[in-house]
Chains A and B, each alone.
Chain A
């Protein structure tokens, strides 16, 4: 095979593998950022965290919040809940950042697989 083509195909294979690994890392982050509370499921994203923090900042200590499926969930302790959300958010993005840094440094398939 023409060496130029061989290298191009090898690079294409590497990019396909890399892109798929990025998707894996994002999917893992999304799982880590799912918070289960009082039979509800919430995504620990900036919107949810900001909304809960807004409720706290106007003096609320408890509230009913709609979860990901639009179910009304009673949150008896908003401070405890926001801590959970921030914890899950941070855990998810930290793992995402660590894994992405590893991927950025992996310039070929062998490096991605730690071979």
Chain B
């Protein structure tokens, strides 16, 4: 267990695999936090293999600019292959290491923590308000895609008649008893995945933390859709689909993207997002622009 060293900050998990350089994404996400938030202390949680790669592939000054704390946790992740898309026409599968995300409450060096995914780029100060409250836990309940479309059906509810789907992309929490019960419940769901996929009727193939938090929230609400969880004022996550693409980074907080049409995927329209927090789900698209983004964020210094 880490010691609490600071009042507030942002944590990220990054475990590289052979296809996705999550630790580089984490540095971009951290640089965005530094640029746009007041509560901008940062902590990277990774394993020794990824950390060794980081040391080889990135300058120490860039790393120090982006992260104030590093926690090494070597975990044996179970095989969890995830299918990714890069546009509607290219797909690939790779390991998705997310089995210890619930452990963030023990690993964080912060009293009040916001855990974000490394593909979540914070481009405004929206989240600062939550650190001023006594809210124990907050997550996004709603999401939309670039053309203001609703999420896919399995991202709205866990099954056709199921409970609401909450997003673990951004999880704010403090060190209260409620938070601890919540993360313990998340771990319990993970440990009993086979049971919970039958109970809540979702496909068991891919281990998804979104499902864990949705179930933990449902259980802690007395098996109801109640208001235990703060939902950031109902503001939705803005998702860039894996089948969408980044076209140009005009400025660090100004992205032009190509949004595909779900029914007719050969149709695309351009979409410009300015000063908007973005969940960029097309990982290879981030990778193609990562050096450019890092250069813009760090005034020319990049890995």
Contact = CB atoms under 8 A, between A and B. Distances in A.
Check if A and B associate.
Answer: yes
Interface of A: 13, 16-17, 20-21, 23-24, 27-28, 30-31, 34, 36, 39, 41, 68-69, 109, 112-114
Most buried by A among B130, B146, B227, B270: B270
A113 B134 contact: no
A31 to B, nearest CB: 6
Interface in B232-254: 233-235, 238, 248, 250
A113 B148 contact: no
B234 A68 contact: yes
B132 interface: yes
A76 to B, nearest CB: 15
Interface string B257-293: 0010000000001111111100000000000000000
B271 A20 contact: yes
B276 A24 contact: yes
Classify the interface of chain B: helix, strand, loop or mixed: mixed
Nearest to B133: A39
Given A24-B272, A36-B233, A113 B256 contact: yes
Classify the interface of chain A: helix, strand, loop or mixed: helix
Interface residues of B, number: 28
Nearest to B261: A16
Contacts of A16: 269
Contacts of A69: 227
Given A27-B148, A36-B133, A112 B272 contact: yes
B270 A113 contact: yes
A13 B148 contact: no
B223 interface: no
Contacts of A31: 124, 126, 235
Nearest to B276: A28
B269 A13 contact: yes
Contacts of A36: 129-130, 132-133, 233
A20 B271 CA distance: 7
Contacts of B124: 31
Nearest to A30: B235
Given A24-B272, A36-B233, A113-B248, 12 more contacts: A20-B147, A20-B271, A23-B148, A24-B273, A24-B276, A27-B276, A28-B275, A36-B129, A68-B233, A112-B272, A113-B256, A114-B250
B135 interface: yes
A113 B259 CA distance: 14
B260 to A, nearest CB: 13
B271 A24 contact: yes
Most buried by A among B124, B227, B259, B272: B272
Contacts of A68: 233-234
Given A20-B148, A28-B275, A36-B133, A41 B233 contact: yes
B261 to A, nearest CB: 10
B275 A20 contact: no
A113 B227 CA distance: 40
A27 B274 CA distance: 11
A114 B133 CA distance: 39
B96 to A, nearest CB: 29
Contacts of B276: 24, 27-28
Contacts of B238: 27
Interface string B131-149: 0111100000000001110
A41 B132 CA distance: 13
A55 B238 CA distance: 37
A5 to B, nearest CB: 16
A37 B78 CA distance: 43
> Which 8 A-B residue pairs are closest in the complex by CB-CB distance?
A41-B233, A36-B129, A34-B233, A23-B148, A39-B133, A17-B269, A16-B269, A20-B147
A39 B233 contact: no
Contacts of B135: 39
Contacts of B234: 41, 68
